[in-house]
Structure 1
């Protein structure tokens, strides 16, 4: 079986020009991230997956209806703002927040190889999402995070029979690409007054 990171659009391959981040590539890579959660055959990550899927759909709806004005993520936001709308922008803010959470969780697994997955995801949640949620949601998320797979099972699923070395190389490229996109979009949204990730 082909390792997961070779079967989906990598964030490292999303086209970025002086005009911005290619919207189609960005959405494809985001879809790939959602598919990663499917590998576990469980609803453990359902809260993240559902949120990301809904926000991808919101950005995609705008992209599909105004393709010529939405070639880049930045242009999509600027054009929607001109129309005094904020539906796709709100979805984009939440989508980037979900991407940032996933990036931080996986980055934690790479930098702290002795910690179990639930510890890495809890750190990421506390940093990125906790302050956006009320008490009840925090408790639900806390329970869900404790149910994530073991570290070895997680990486075995993603490697899908491939070597650990190859997985580490592909995951590093994917994480670096994702980090660059999250940082760029976050700065653009904040600097333009469109929203804060």
Structure 2
């Protein structure tokens, strides 16, 4: 009986060790950080500066007049603008194998250019916000989440599949965009002008 109890305890310790290791895996690198940029990690807050690593589970935040740019291990690029909060819920990347990426944007403005994970058949790449779940298929896209409104724009080839409580819509034409408002029917997809695209990019660059 004692032997079985010891084995159960040993297995439990091993499991905790593996979980802790996965939570500390480096999954990306900060290549730009200006203003107030932080990472909430393992119940501690760290200043996030140029060349600092990014880890699974990090909650990345920016303050006023701040910018943060991260490149993940699969070459996915993330840009955050002012007053933004984004959590890395999942990022599994092994070259030439199916992978998974899941990010949660609580608020703010972001741009993502998907990398290798999105180029392998069967992989999953998603972004969640308070108003929508966004499935991404190999593209460059931009979004701005406020308390009751989400604006999404497709900046390049590919697709952005958007699921909301009010329905679903897919952006598949470059420079197409949509405004999603809380407790309102889905708006119409519209085309951005080049000036509007430039303005959107400036919010995160």
Which structure carries more helix by proportion?
1
Higher relative CO (CA 8 A, sep ≥ 6), structure 1 or 2? 1
TM band (smaller chain): under 0.3
- Higher radius of gyration, 1 or 2: 2
